[in-house]
Amino acid sequence: MHAIAYQSFGAATDVLDHITQEPPAAGPGDVCVALAFSGVNPSDVKARAGGRPGVTKPPFDTIIPHNDGAGTIVAVGDGVDPARLGQRVWIWNGQWQRAYGTAATHITLPAEQAVPLPAGVGLETGAVLGIPGLTAAHIVFGGGEITGQTLLIHGGAGTVGHLAVQLAKWGGARVIATARGDGIARCTAAGADVVLDYTAPDLAQQILDANAGRLIPRIVDVEFGHNIATDTAVIAPNGTIAAYGSALEMTPTLPFYPLLFKAVTVDIVLIYLLPKAQRDAAIAQLHGALEAGALECPIHRIYPLSDTALAHQAVEAGGRTGAILIDVQA
């Protein structure tokens, strides 16, 4: 197989190299997938750069990065139904706590991590369903039924936020999203009922005005530390803040007393660690939305495998209008 790998932390152009080796054999309970696309996420880029707290060197001698991907099962191990051969699948946690991820022509991993794609769903879309898709589904539906509720989705123009807006609308919620610039139109196109500029100095009041003065029962937040004051002001009693990022303020100060007297739940989401029952539920929700034609997974750009370093740089640069993928067969 052909792959892109690194052996030390550093800039993408310095540490990512092309390697060739045999695909790992499918052991008991495993499948081998011939990949078509690999998804590049911010967490993959940060891991390659050595940006995870307390991690000073790569955990394996050679790492093939990336957790998301899609392709076709070409081999199965003992205990796996042979009928899965030829099945189109998408991958989750491809490189989580493992050496070899999806930046390769093949990946071998436990069969449950290769999820059958719904009929008619393209492999490009499949490569977005791992980290972005599962995160969006869980932060929207992880607290239960949302029909008739109002959700506040911060950063609705980002990859996860854009999917979250669509899923919340499919789930029957009213959506207030925040964005800025071209992202405002992007959120509106995704179905948001109201889109507010997150740089507005009176954002909290605008959110309440947009909800007829009512407090918000569920907030989805990509910048938890930066937004905590706004969230505290608009969250309803017994409400939930589902936070999946806080890049601008990694050590936030919480207004504990106001949160306490609203009995607010802060749900910090790391999709890699989602328990099986919750992951299965998120998968079912993603597939349901896809089959209903209610979910579009935009692709910003697809790079050939040889340009994986450029793909990493594109993720680092931000300002994307969709996912960054690698065509691993190109």
> How far does CA 171 lie from the centroid of its chain?
19
How do beta strands 174-179 and 106-110 pair?
unpaired
d(CA 51, CA 70): 26
As its CATH architecture, domain 2-128+297-327 has Alpha-Beta Complex (3.90)
Please, where in the chain does CATH 3.40.50.720 lie? 132-272
- For residue 15, the model assigns a pLDDT of 98
Res. 53: pLDDT tops 90:
no
Res. 73: pLDDT tops 90:
yes
**Which amino acid is it at 328?**
V
- For residue 31, the model assigns a pLDDT of 98
Res. 52: pLDDT tops 90:
no
pLDDT classification of 169: cutoffs 50, 70, 90: very high
pLDDT digits (tens, 9 = 90+) for 254-288: 999 999 999 999 999 999 999 999 999 999 999 99
pTM confidence score: 0.97
Please, where in the chain does CATH 3.90.180.10 lie? 2-128+297-327
For 250-295, strand residue ranges (E) read 265-268
The yes/no answer on whether domain 132-272 falls in CATH 1.10.600.10 is no
Q: Which tokens sit at 238?
A: 């017994």
- For residue 54, the model assigns a pLDDT of 86
Looking at 52-56, 133-137, 150-154, 318-322, which range is the least confident one? 52-56
